[in-house]
């Protein structure tokens, strides 16, 4: 692999990449201009991608011609001449090889970044929607409790395990059915703790 350092920049540019943070966890793909703002985030490559690239790189080196017993001197010299011509053109062929791979990789990564950003955007919207729903559930349940369970202290409702679990759900902002189920649990808990409250 001694020749590889001469082509290091081309090799890196020719391979699809991912990103990991300083804890080695996968990180969203960042375009070149975005990276300075994220310290500790680095490009990563799959070993299989490097091995495939290296194997293709090695295949470009023509085998040294060996004179077989049935070959004439002229045939052998012709093979040697052809081999020398291929060796002379090797750097040019490698340059073309990497340039082609880089173009393909750039197209792949452009699509990957677009997809990654779309997925992140969707996840961000879903996260915000769930956060909003959790807030709405909390307000909805407290409002219904104030109307239908006026004797139950608000502090007791906020500490109620069923209530705390219910407001962690982000699928919707609360419903009559979900409140009906929660109301039973809050009422039961309030009644069961009557003696403790009046010690």
Query: Which tokens is 184 given?
Result: 């039973």
Q: What is the pLDDT of residue 165?
A: 96
Q: What is the pLDDT of residue 197?
A: 57
Q: What is the pLDDT of residue 193?
A: 78
Q: What is the pLDDT of residues 148-166, one digit of tens each?
A: 999 999 999 999 999 999 9
Q: What is the pLDDT of residue 196?
A: 66
First to last CA, the chain: 81
Query: Which tokens is 32 given?
Result: 């070149």
Query: Which tokens is 192 given?
Result: 């069961």
Which stretches of the chain drop beneath a pLDDT of 70?
A: 1-5, 194-199
């Amino acid at each position: 692999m001694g020749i590889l350092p001469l082509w290091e920049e081309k090799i890196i540019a020719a391979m699809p990449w991912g990103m990991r943070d300083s804890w080695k966890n996968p990180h969203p793909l960042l375009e070149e201009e975005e990276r300075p703002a994220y310290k500790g985030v680095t490009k990563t490559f799959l070993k299989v991608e490097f091995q495939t690239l290296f194997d293709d790189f090695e295949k470009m080196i023509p085998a040294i011609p060996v004179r077989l017993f049935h070959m004439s001197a002229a045939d052998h010299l012709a093979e040697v001449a052809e081999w020398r011509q291929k060796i002379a053109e090797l750097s040019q062929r490698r340059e073309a090889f990497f340039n082609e791979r880089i173009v393909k990789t750039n197209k792949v990564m452009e699509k990957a970044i677009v997809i990654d950003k779309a997925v992140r955007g969707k996840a961000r919207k879903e996260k915000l929607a769930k956060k909003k729903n959790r807030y709405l559930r909390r307000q909805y349940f407290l409002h219904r409790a104030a109307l239908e369970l006026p004797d139950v202290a608000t502090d007791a409702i906020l500490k109620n395990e069923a209530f705390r679990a219910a407001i962690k759900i982000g699928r919707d902002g609360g419903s009559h059915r979900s409140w009906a189920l929660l109301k039973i649990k809050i009422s039961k808990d309030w009644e069961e703790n009557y003696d403790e409250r009046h010690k």
